[in-house]
């Protein structure tokens, strides 16, 4: 919840991927169900709201997996690089791994399951304190995310 003097505007939902490098999947196999993640090398993002428990959904049912692995970090780009090097499986948003998935450098895992999308929001001052520059930037973001996400290029 935003303080009273601030406004929040949702721009888009961001898809979250569970993925790994093709070399990792070839060496260790691909998990077939969420519980299999508990036996894999998962690279954990320490700021993830669910902690080391990844929450996946399928057909309305929630599946939880306690993950562990050789690396924990508070930087998604670092985890992406480690995954590209074949060190393990990551759960990261499209803006970090989307290009790698589209080019095949990372492969999606557990395709029949989904991770709840993460919202992308802009937080700005109440209209009374809003400068023209901030207003224009917020509107630009709304148009960019609306168009980019509508065309699948987030």
pLDDT tens per residue across span 33-62: 999 999 999 999 998 877 889 999 999 999
DSSP string, 102-134: HHTSSEE--TT-B-PPEEEEEEEE-GGG--HHH
Q: What is the pLDDT of residues 66-101, one digit of tens each?
A: 999 999 999 999 999 999 999 999 999 998 999 999
Q: Which residue has the higher pLDDT, 26 or 128?
A: 26
Q: What is the pLDDT of residues 95-111, one digit of tens each?
A: 899 999 999 999 999 99
| Complete domains list, the chain, with CATH | 6-11+119-150 (no CATH), 14-117 (3.40.190.290)
Q: Classify residue 38 by its DSSP letter.
A: G
Q: Write the burial class of residue 153 (CB in 10 Å: 0-12 exposed, 13-18 middle, 19+ buried).
A: exposed
The tokens describing 101, both together, are 């998935």
Please compute the mean of the pLDDT values over residues 126-136 and round it to a whole number. Answer: 80
Q: Which residue has the tokens 């929001």?
A: 121
């Amino acid at each position: 919840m935003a303080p009273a003097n601030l406004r929040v505007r949702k721009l888009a939902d961001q898809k979250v991927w569970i993925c790994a490098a093709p070399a990792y999947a070839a060496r260790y196999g691909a998990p077939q169900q969420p519980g299999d993640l508990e036996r894999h090398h998962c690279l954990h993002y320490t700021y993830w709201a669910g902690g080391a428990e990844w929450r996946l959904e399928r057909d309305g049912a929630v599946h939880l997996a306690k993950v562990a692995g050789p690396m924990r970090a508070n930087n998604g780009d670092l985890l992406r690089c480690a995954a590209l090097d074949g060190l393990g499986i990551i759960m990261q948003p499209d803006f970090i791994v989307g290009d790698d998935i589209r080019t095949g450098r990372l492969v999606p895992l557990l395709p029949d399951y989904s991770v709840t999308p993460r919202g992308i929001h802009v937080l700005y001052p109440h209209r009374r304190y809003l400068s023209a520059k901030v207003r224009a930037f917020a509107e630009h973001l709304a148009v960019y995310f609306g168009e980019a996400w509508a065309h699948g290029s987030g």
